Amino acid sequence: MFLRTAALLGFVMTASTSFGDEGMWLYNNLPKAHLKEKYGFEPTQEWLDNLQKSSVRFNSGGSGSFVSPDGLVLTNHHVGADDLQKLSTPEKDLLKTGYYAKTRDQELKCKALELNVLQSIKDVTAEVNAAVPMGAAAADAFKARQAKIAAIEKDGATDKTTRADVVTLYAGGAYHLYTFKKYTDIRLVFAPEKAIAFFGGDPDNFEYPRYDLDCCFFRVYENDAPVKSANYLKWSPSGAVDGELTFVSGHPGRTNRQQTIAELEYLRDVGYPALLQRLNRLEVLLGAWVGRSEANRQNGEDELFGIQNSRKARIGGLGGLQDPKLMARKIAEEAALRKFIETATPTTPEEKATLEAAKAAFETIAKAEKVRRAMNRDLTLLEQGAAFNSSYFRIARTLVRAAEEKSKPAGERFREFGEARLPSLEQQLFSDEPHYDDFELLKLADSLSLMASTLGMDDALVKQVLAGKSPKDRAFELISGTRVKDIAARKTLYEEGKSAVDGSADPMIALAKLVDPAARALRKRYETEVEEPKRQAYSALAKARFMKDGTNTYPDATFSLRLSFGPIKGFKDAGKDIPAFTTFEGLYARSAEQGNKYPFKLPERWVEKKASLDLKTPLNFVSTADIIGGNSGSPVVNKQGEVVGLIFDGNIQSLVLDFIYDDVESRAVSVDSRAIIEALQKVYDASELVTELRGK
Amino acid sequence: MFLRTAALLGFVMTASTSFGDEGMWLYNNLPKAHLKEKYGFEPTQEWLDNLQKSSVRFNSGGSGSFVSPDGLVLTNHHVGADDLQKLSTPEKDLLKTGYYAKTRDQELKCKALELNVLQSIKDVTAEVNAAVPMGAAAADAFKARQAKIAAIEKDGATDKTTRADVVTLYAGGAYHLYTFKKYTDIRLVFAPEKAIAFFGGDPDNFEYPRYDLDCCFFRVYENDAPVKSANYLKWSPSGAVDGELTFVSGHPGRTNRQQTIAELEYLRDVGYPALLQRLNRLEVLLGAWVGRSEANRQNGEDELFGIQNSRKARIGGLGGLQDPKLMARKIAEEAALRKFIETATPTTPEEKATLEAAKAAFETIAKAEKVRRAMNRDLTLLEQGAAFNSSYFRIARTLVRAAEEKSKPAGERFREFGEARLPSLEQQLFSDEPHYDDFELLKLADSLSLMASTLGMDDALVKQVLAGKSPKDRAFELISGTRVKDIAARKTLYEEGKSAVDGSADPMIALAKLVDPAARALRKRYETEVEEPKRQAYSALAKARFMKDGTNTYPDATFSLRLSFGPIKGFKDAGKDIPAFTTFEGLYARSAEQGNKYPFKLPERWVEKKASLDLKTPLNFVSTADIIGGNSGSPVVNKQGEVVGLIFDGNIQSLVLDFIYDDVESRAVSVDSRAIIEALQKVYDASELVTELRGK
């Protein structure tokens, strides 16, 4: 399944010329001419408004939509899975059993879920740019911009039900203030068993044909009553057919389509291979441990799955980067842009400045990528914590840094310690999420061993970190000795601040203090020599690209609302035709050919109810829509704006969409709306929910 | 389980001072004083002779023993597993079902299994040394020695039932000609299901407590009749007790206890981490693929398990190398030897020469390790074939090299093309072992991608290898286009030789030719700048060590017959006491706590027969005996020379035994002889076999 989208997003850029049905389009800049010309379709403003205001962003990193006037929200099971886990008890595992609230009073309130619905967009580009002094050094420019953005967001959030995010578009070519209606009382209505939502598990993940009922329903409440959602999507009575044009409205997390060849080469040669090496190591470590006992499985399976999912995604991406056909397209794109920059005749002083800045930009980025090549290893180990892979270390570091950062003015702090972000940082720091010493020991011992292998046993910091012990013995000492596993102890250290941290004898706190100077130095160098120069260079390129292509483009994904589209369409894989639709019949056949064994084992009620199901019901389908992680849970609608499907994945070939759109083999994967109705009726006896979806 | 021992062995050295019950002792140089003093035990020559001539070497890489006067041989299931697979048919999978021949005529003849029983040892050190001219260059010395050894082995094998191996002992301080009685008609008598032989699979592999019935019985035939084995081991009627002294007679494959600190640091910093990286990558690749379908599982599971097994073994070894306590012992050992070399007063010109050679040896080894650090990456990729991980490539390379090597004089060929080795090379090359294109594609595409990531897409050889395609597309072209998958095509190319190979348009042959110059250059550099200088340096150190310690030492393991010993004894793991014995009761409990799921699922008959079993019967036990891979299948005997157990593994802590003996946590793991009898009687109704074991 798609990687969940992290809240903190990186560089973002504009796309140039489109390719087929390419594009994650802004709602206020849709390719209307293309839609009209190619598909004879002209959406009305009402059609667009309803789709926009029916679209829901899950702040946990996914998308969804209102599908009834009573606040019912449709999303993926894997988007809701965190909440299902939090609502579970040792006696009642909702991921295992699924859940259905037949009546409103049975709907279960989620613990810390926030949904956002986009209400308005305001351009704040001038305001943000004005805050950065002309000719400011990179580090100062970064700081000034961050401070301004934080201030705008604070002003924009006028009350407790409003959320305001400044979204960086066109690589800093534009800054838009997105204002959302914010909902925090979200209740679980229906979830199937994980075994059917994620049927096929890791083996079938990112593959197609696929057979997953990856759906989940929540209801939004306000003042303890279901919210009356004026905007919602109607359910299609008949579903979609092969070749039919469909639309996807959701929040693609991040794409990198404007990265220069220098950056793509960095990713191809260093970034992805190094990450895959670490993911492989963790997958093997956790896989072996999880197999040792049922308790291990329960404690480690989710983390293992996350690793496997990332691994598949990166392999797909690396496959694209190593494909000369795709790279040739990127190279041609860059050459065209370079040529434009070198040959265009500016008509204003602004255009002249833009072209001059853009001329230097390629070299700036190449230089930044060189720095990144040189420091990636140490940054990953020390600042990103690959050398100290334990929740206890992460807690200890947060406490050590909080003591220092909180005493600084807001604008000078690390981003995550900004005033606006402190509440969520504290929520996480003091959460009662359970940790298991044996699991922490496993991961910390392995990561200390990795550090020793990577930096060498004679490295001064390695020697200090290991303190004369083997990685395993040292990890045992740290894990068994630290008190940060106790929430009260964390609170004391956090509240008493620097003197308490400095005076602490806790071995994990001591370790976090020991590595912090080196880690901070790396982060600072990365921010000033890589991040900020690239931000400025990409911004310059983005402006030049505007000159070249005008506004007939879409910006790279930024976890802001977008519209994509494309027909339902199969594809060819190694010479074999893969049809667009799968069915319930295929689901049962796949389970049988795998001996009905995990992760192909069907929940008991699916076995019992087989006879009552219409086995020809379409279960999943693929389309050419341009989507990416963050789109998980997006509604797929037809020209009438009715729900015909639910995005939940891309095929493995689609993982190149991070860099470049492709409609030859890349496909978006959806649950068919008909499968949801058929399953709710025949397998789950959820007639109340079906009635609500169909409209009374 | 232990890694199987490769036939081709590397450097071998002597050990100095012993530690506890350390030692894999030569039969003609046993620590009799230690045994007498510590255990009051004095073995008679008859006791020793019987144990020696009852010990059997499996040329597939394991140990065994005669346990009846009618040629019955006991070994591990995992030693016999290859043969079980070869004896299986699509309809009858002996690994799954197990096998029992109630009568002689049901015993199944193995396809290419050879057993050796040591008859005599002759010192040929002088002869081998005389063949190397004084002051010869490294490469010439290597060649001259190899030629002499080949000649001695050829002369020693006087008839078809005799096998002669020159064994390098004390790192070239001594060369002994081992003459074996060779048996080639071996028949399967009994094997349990793999599910009980390897109960717990990868998760429990190398762990303790353990619950495996890892045993298997063969019978040796000559002239179509069971051989009358004059020497065999009696079965103990009562088994052994906690604390009892036991002996292990078997063929430890290889230890590296005399490696210098420079070499250990190479392994710790480069060798093991790089190997583990590759193993992790392969484990993840194969694991994901095997999960995709039942056919994949059947075709890939064995290879996957081999990788997992290696991975666990290397992690254990690396853990030891990264442990300052163990390294401090190695450093102290080396310091003592260095001091001796620097301060000893020679009494003869030979001793003077020995000390002088030894003085330079540490530096020579350090230099060789530096070369190895520099070339390990390329050697692994190109010569060891990590960049071309496909059986078809290995076949193509063998054909390409055979065309060249066979035209050279015997002494100048690559070792594996020596006259004596050609028959086994041809047997492998023309074997009808099945290969599966989809599996070959998976592995080749991944390894080409690894090559591109490691050497860079702009590397000249990478460009030639990929020929403008993505790794996946190029692999598809090679796998679908090659004809070496056809045995007849292989034979033609092999027989027609160089002109046929040169004229071949086969894409895989072309690839093998393309990379051969670079691969050969790396191999040559490795042999002349690493292998040979180290061989000479370790030989000099071994001689110095002789001067220092006399003959009261044991040589490093060389897959030659050794005797180890030690009491049955539990150990502590992370503060927890682990008892020495497990029982059938524990087996059923472990299966239940894992939900009776694979790899903890018991064979049906074990479930059915549970009530009839004495659940208190000991199943596995641990002892402090000094063993290593190759010892798999070794008998464990008591002071009366009776079988009380069967070695099948070491715990994960024992994987440091490659470098250094430890009796604090390291343990040898055995099947208890009583479990074998109880299972044969109560679960398998194998009363005939029980009668034979107990003696008529």
Interface of A with B in 281-310 (CB under 8 A): 281, 283-284, 287-288, 291-294, 308
pLDDT at B454: 97
The pLDDT assigned to B19 comes to 53
The rounded distance, in Å, linking the Cα atoms of A55 and A62 is 11
d(CA A672, CA A683): 16
For the ranges A254-258, B337-341, B375-379, the lowest mean pLDDT is seen at A254-258
CB contact under 8 Å between B471 and A292, yes or no, is no
pLDDT digits (tens, 9 = 90+) for A285-294: 999 999 998 8
Distance CA A244, CA A41 (A): 12
Within 10 angstroms of residue A249's Cβ, the number of other Cβ atoms is: 26
Q: Tell me the mean pLDDT in the region B140-154.
A: 89
Residue A620 has pLDDT above 70, yes or no: yes
**Residue B207 above 80 pLDDT?**
yes
Q: Express each pLDDT in B639-680 by its tens digit.
A: 999 999 999 999 988 988 888 898 888 999 999 999 999 999
Separation of alpha carbons B382 and B515, rounded Å:
7
Interface check A575 vs B, CB under 8 A: no
Beta-carbon separation of A268 and B473 below 8 A? no
**What residue of A is the nearest CA neighbor of B469?**
A324
Q: What is the mean pLDDT of residues B1-21?
A: 45
* Residue that wins the pLDDT comparison between B653 and B68: B68
Exposure letters B573-607 (e unless 16+ CB within 10 A, then b): eeeeebebbbbbbbbbebbeebeeeebbbbbebbe
Q: Hunting for tokens 């602004």 — which residue is that? A: A350
ipTM of the complex: 0.86
The pLDDT assigned to B2 comes to: 62
- The span from the CA of B665 to the CA of B650, in Å, is 11
Mean of pLDDT over chain A: 92
DSSP H/E element including A649: strand A643-650
- φ/ψ of B226, rounded to 5, equals -55, 135
Residue A687: pLDDT over 70: yes
Tokens matching residue A373? 């090549």
What integer pLDDT is reported at residue A17 of this predicted model? 41
Which of the four pLDDT bands, split at 50, 70 and 90, describes residue B251? very high
Chain A residue with minimum CA distance to B323? A470
Put simply, the answer to whether A269 touches B453 (Cβ < 8 Å) is yes
Q: Tell which of A275, A280, A464 to mutate to test the B interface (max B CBs under 10 Å).
A: A280
Q: Which two tokens stand for residue B286?
A: 């194969």
Give the model's pLDDT for residue B400: 97
Alpha carbon B116 to its chain's center: 16
Residue B9 is predicted with a pLDDT of: 28
B637's CB contacts (< 8 A; 6+ apart) are B51, B233, B246, B247, B248, B249, B643, B644
Beta bridge partners of B221: B185, B226
Measured CA to CA, the distance from residue A252 to residue B600 in angstroms comes to 43
Residues of chain A positioned with their CB less than 8 A from the CB of B277: 277, 280-281
Average pLDDT over every residue of B551-572: 91
Cis peptide upstream of residue B507 (ω within 30 degrees of 0): no
DSSP states along A551-576: T-S-BPP-SS-EEEEEEB--EEETTE
Model confidence at B456, pLDDT cuts 50, 70, 90, reads very high
Burial class of B155 by CB neighbour count within 10 A (0 to 12, 13 to 18, 19+): exposed
pLDDT at residue A6, rounded to an integer: 42
Q: Using an 8 Å Cβ cutoff, are A55 and A118 in contact? A: yes
Spell out the residues 6+ positions from residue B543 whose beta carbon is closer than 8 angstroms to its own.
Answer: B170, B173, B354, B357, B358
B469 touches chain A (CB under 8 A): yes
Average pLDDT over residues A301-319: 91
Helices (H) and strands (E) in chain A, counts: 26, 20
pLDDT at A142 over 90: no
Mean pLDDT of B528-552: 86
Q: How far apart (Å, rounded) are the C-alpha atoms in residues B445 and B52?
A: 49
Among the residues of B553-599, which ranges form H helices? 584-593
CA distances (Å), origin B666, targets A477, B3, B16, B62, B649: 21, 17, 20, 21, 11
Cβ pairs A/B, distance under 8 A: 111
- Give the residue from chain B lying closest to A455, CA to CA: B269
The pLDDT of residue B551 is 63
The band of A510, judged by pLDDT with boundaries at 50, 70 and 90, is: very high
Mean pLDDT confidence for B509-515: 98
Residue B110 has pLDDT above 80, yes or no: yes
- Residue A379 CB: number of other CB atoms within 10 A? 18
Task: Pick A231 or A295 by higher pLDDT.
Answer: A231
The residue ranking higher by pLDDT, A3 or A656, is A656
Q: Model-level pTM? A: 0.87
Q: What is the pLDDT of residues A37-66, one digit of tens each?
A: 999 999 999 999 999 999 999 988 899 999
Asked whether B682 and B612 are in contact (CB, 8 A), the reply is yes
Q: What is the pLDDT of residue A547?
A: 85
At B567, the pLDDT band (50, 70, 90 cuts) reads: very high
Q: For residues B59 and B57, what is the distance between their CA atoms, to the nearest angstrom?
A: 6
Identity (one letter) of the amino acid at B136?
A
Q: What is the DSSP letter of B25?
A: B
Contacts of A267 in chain B (CB under 8 A): none
CB A98 within 8 A of CB A603: yes
CB-based contact (8 Å) between A452 and chain B? yes
Among candidate residues B574, B591, B308, A290, the one with its CA nearest the CA of residue B582: B591
Contact B490, B392 (CB under 8 A): no
Residue of A305 and B189 predicted with greater confidence: B189
CA distance B5 to chain A (A): 24
Nearest to B184, CA basis, from B215, B227, B154, B121? B227
CA distance A62 to A6: 10
Determine which of A113-117, B247-251, B295-299 has the lowest per-residue pLDDT on average: B295-299
- Distance CA(A239)–CA(A637), nearest Å, equals 9
CA atoms within 13 A on the CB side of B253: 21
Residue A544 has pLDDT above 80, yes or no: yes
Q: Inter-chain contact B473–A574, Cβ cutoff 8 Å?
A: no
Average of per-residue pLDDT across B544-558: 82
Rounded to the nearest 5°, which phi and psi values hold at B672? -75, 135
Interface of A with B in 182-221 (CB under 8 A): 201-204, 207
CB-based contact, B464 to chain A, within 8 Å: no
The pLDDT value recorded for residue B311 is 94
Q: Under an 8 A CB cutoff, do A469 and B268 touch?
A: no
Give the nearest partner residue to B284 out of A268, A311, A456, using CB atoms.
Answer: A311
Please state, rounded to an integer, the average pLDDT across all residues of chain B.
Answer: 92
pLDDT of B28: 79
Which one of A284, A381, A573, A590 makes the best mutation probe of the B interface by having the most chain B beta carbons within 10 Å? Answer: A284
Question: What is the band of B18 on the pLDDT scale with cuts at 50, 70, 90?
Answer: very low
Distance CA B9, CA B5 (A): 8
Mean pLDDT of A80-104: 92
Q: ∠ CA(B256), CA(B262), CA(B264), 5° rounding?
A: 40
Percent of chain B topping pLDDT 90: 73
- The predicted pLDDT at position A19 comes to 53
In one-letter notation, the amino acid at residue B246 is T
Backbone phi, then psi, for A111, in 5-degree steps? Answer: -85, -40
What the block records as the tokens of B635 is 């008998």
Contact A456 B269 (CB under 8 A): yes
Greatest mean pLDDT range, A218-232, B153-167, B415-429: A218-232
pLDDT band at residue A696 under the 50/70/90 scheme:
low
Q: What is the structure's pLDDT at A2? A: 62
For residues A62 and A630, give the distance between their C-alpha atoms in angstroms, rounded to a whole number.
5
Check: CB of residue B312 under 8 Å from CB of residue B273.
Answer: no
Containing H/E element for A248? strand A245-250
Best residue of B453, B458, B466 to probe chain A, by most A CBs closer than 10 Å: B453
Interchain CB contact of B481 with A (< 8 Å): no
Cα dihedral B4→B6→B11→B17 (10° resolution): 30
Q: Quick check: B564 and B24 in contact, CB under 8 A? A: yes
Phi-psi region of A23 (alpha: psi -120 to 50; beta: other; left: phi over 0): left
Query: Which phi and psi (to 5°) does residue A682 adopt?
Result: -90, -30
Contact across the interface for A452 and B202, Cβ inside 8 Å: no
